[in-house]
Amino acid sequence: MLSSRCAGACVLLLALKCLGQSNSPGRPVLDLSLEKAIAIAISSPGNANIQIAQETEQLAHSRYTNARADLLPTLDGSVAEQNLTVNPRAMGLRFESPLFTVPNEVGPFSTFDARLRLNQNILNLSAIRHWQAARQDIQSAKSETDSVREHVAGTVARLYAGVLRADSQIAVSKANIADAEALRDLASHRASAGEGTELDVARANLNVAREQQRMLAAEADRTRTQLDLIKLLNLDWNTVLSLTGKLDDVHPEALSVEQAMTIALKSRADFKLQQNRIESAKLNYRAAKLERLPSVAGYADYGVLEGVQTHTVGAALRLPLFDGGRIESDRLEAASLMRQQQIHQAEIKSQIELDVRKALAILGSAQQQIRVSEQAVALAQEEVARSRRRYNAGIANSLEVIDAQTQVEIARDDRVAALFNYASACIGLAQATGTVAKMVF
C-alpha cells in the first residue's frame, strides 16, 4: 500500500514538472494589468460585439444623412435628343380656314434639350423633426456601443480576478506542500531514530501527494481561465499572461446608496442610451404631429431648347387635406412608442437602484468574510504550532499534526475565496455604477 502511494506521488510530480516545462521560452509573455486588459478588450479590434455595435453607429449615421437629404436642395441635369412625328389634331388643334388647314401629321423633326432642375424644401417642420430624431439616434447608437464596452469590461474584470484567484490558490498550495514536506521529513527522521512509526511516514507522504494534486488542479483552473481571457482579448493563443494585479489590492471608495445612485445615473451607458431613445421618440412624435401643417417647396429649371434659353421658377404650398387617416395613425404610433420608452426608462432606473443596493450589500458581507478568514488563518496556524510541539515532544502522533494542517489549508482556501468574493463584489459595484472601465487592482 505504501509503495503504491509513493508511486502515485511520483506520477503527480512528473506531471507537475511537465506542466511547468510546457511554457516554452519562445512563447510571448504579456505583463497585464486590469487597466491594460480592459483597454485591449474595449478597443475596436479587441471584441467582435464592439465591432458590431460600431457598425450600428454607421447605420445610424446613414439614416441621419438620409433624413438630412430631405432638407437639402436637389440638383439634377438632363440632355435629351428627340426625333418626333406628331398629330396636331390629336393635341387639340382643330380649326379650319381658307388660308390654313391644320395637318394631320407634322414631322419628322428633331429637338435638342439641355436642362438643369433644382428642388428645395423651404419650410417642412415635420422633416426637420425627423432629421433631429435621426441625429439623436446617432447618440443612441454611441451609447449602445458604450453599453457593450461596459459589459465587456465587466467580463474582463471577472476573468482577470479569476486568474488572480487561481494564482493565489497555487501560492497557497505551494505553502501547504512546504508544510506537508516538512512534516514528512520530521516523520522520517523520527522513524529512523526509533521515535516514530512507518504509519506516521505513510500518512505524511499521503498528505504531500494530496497537496500536490490540489496544486495541479489549481494550475489547470488557471490555464482554463487564462484561455478564456486570451479569447476575450483576441490575443495570440500562445501568449503567456503575467498578471501584475493582486486580489488584496482592491480598495474601492466607500459609497452610500445615494452617492452610488448619483454616479450610476451619470455613468451607466444603458441609462444614457434610454435617455437618448426617449428624446428621439419625442422628436418623432412631434414630427408626426407636424405632418398636418402646410409645407413650402421651391423649384426651378433652366435649359436650352433648340437654341432658345428657357427657364421655370416657382414655389408650391402643399396642404394635406385628406390622407385616409395615415397622419393620425403615424401620430398615435409615435405617441405609443414614446410612452413605451418612458416606461422602459423607469424600469431601468429601478433596476439600477436594485443593482446598486445588492452590490453594496454583497460588498459589506465580503469585507466581513475577509476579516473572519484572516482570524481563522491565525488561529489555525497557532493550532499547527501547538500540535507540532506536542509531536516533537512525543505526546502526539502525526495524525494530530495533519489534522491541524488540514485546518490551516481550509482557512487559507477560505481566505482566498473571501478575497475573490470581495474582488467580485467590487466589480459588481463598479458595473452597477457604470465605472468598471476605471477599476484598478
Q: Which CATH architecture has domain 2-74+124-295+324-438?
A: Up-down Bundle (1.20)
Average pLDDT of the residues of the chain: 85
The three cell numbers locating residue 262 = 448619483
The rounded distance, in Å, linking the Cα atoms of 130 and 16 is 66
Share of the chain above pLDDT 90, in %: 40
What are 269's strand-pairing partners? none
Q: What is the pLDDT of residue 105?
A: 83
Give 38-50 pLDDT, tens digit per residue. Answer: 988 888 665 778 8
Residue 263 near residue 255, CB atoms below 8 Å: yes
Residue 72 near residue 118, CB atoms below 8 Å: no
The DSSP element (H or E) to which 137 belongs, if any, is: helix 125-192
What ranges do the domains of the chain cover? 2-74+124-295+324-438
Q: Once rounded to an integer, what is the mean pLDDT over residues 384-403?
A: 81
The rounded distance, in Å, linking the Cα atoms of 441 and 436 is 12
Helix (H, G, I), strand (E, B) or coil at 94: coil
Location of C-alpha cell 474582463: 156
Neighbours of 356 (CB within 10 A): 25
- Sheet containing strand 308-318, edge to edge, reads 74-86, 106-123, 295-305, 308-318
Q: What is the pLDDT of residue 18?
A: 44
CB under 8 A, 24+ apart: contacts of 337-344: 337/281, 337/284, 337/285, 338/278, 338/281, 338/282, 338/284, 338/285, 340/281, 341/274, 341/277, 341/278, 341/281, 342/278, 344/274, 344/277
Which of these, 259, 1, 270, lies nearest to 154 by C-alpha position?
270
Q: What is the pLDDT of residue 25?
A: 54
Give 150-209 pLDDT, tens digit per residue. Answer: 999 999 999 999 999 999 999 999 998 988 888 888 888 877 877 777 887 888 888 889
Neighbours of 130 (CB within 10 A): 24
Using the predicted structure, report yes or no on whether residue 5 has a pLDDT greater than 60. Answer: no
Which of these, 280, 328, 324, 300, lies nearest to 67 by C-alpha position?
280
Q: Once rounded to an integer, what is the mean pLDDT over residues 46-56?
A: 82
What is the CB-side half-sphere exposure of residue 59 using CA atoms within 13 A? Answer: 10
Q: What is the pLDDT of residue 276?
A: 92
Using the predicted structure, report yes or no on whether residue 227 has a pLDDT greater than 90. Answer: yes
Q: Report DSSP letters for 316-338, one per residue.
A: EEE-----TTHHHHHHHHHHHHH
Q: What is the pLDDT of residue 94?
A: 72
Give 270-313 pLDDT, tens digit per residue. Answer: 999 999 999 999 999 999 988 888 999 998 998 888 778 889 99
Q: How confident is the model at residue 339 (pLDDT cuts 50, 70, 90)?
A: very high
The DSSP element (H or E) to which 75 belongs, if any, is: strand 74-86
Bond into 108 cis (ω within 30): yes
Residue 356 near residue 264, CB atoms below 8 Å: yes
Q: Look at the chain and count its residues.
A: 441
CB under 8 A, 24+ apart: contacts of 14-17: 15/216, 16/212, 16/215, 16/216, 16/219
Give 14-23 pLDDT, tens digit per residue. Answer: 444 444 444 4
pTM for this predicted structure: 0.75
Which of these, 91, 82, 228, lies nearest to 159 by C-alpha position?
228
E strands of 124-226, at which residues? none
Neighbours of 357 (CB within 10 A): 14
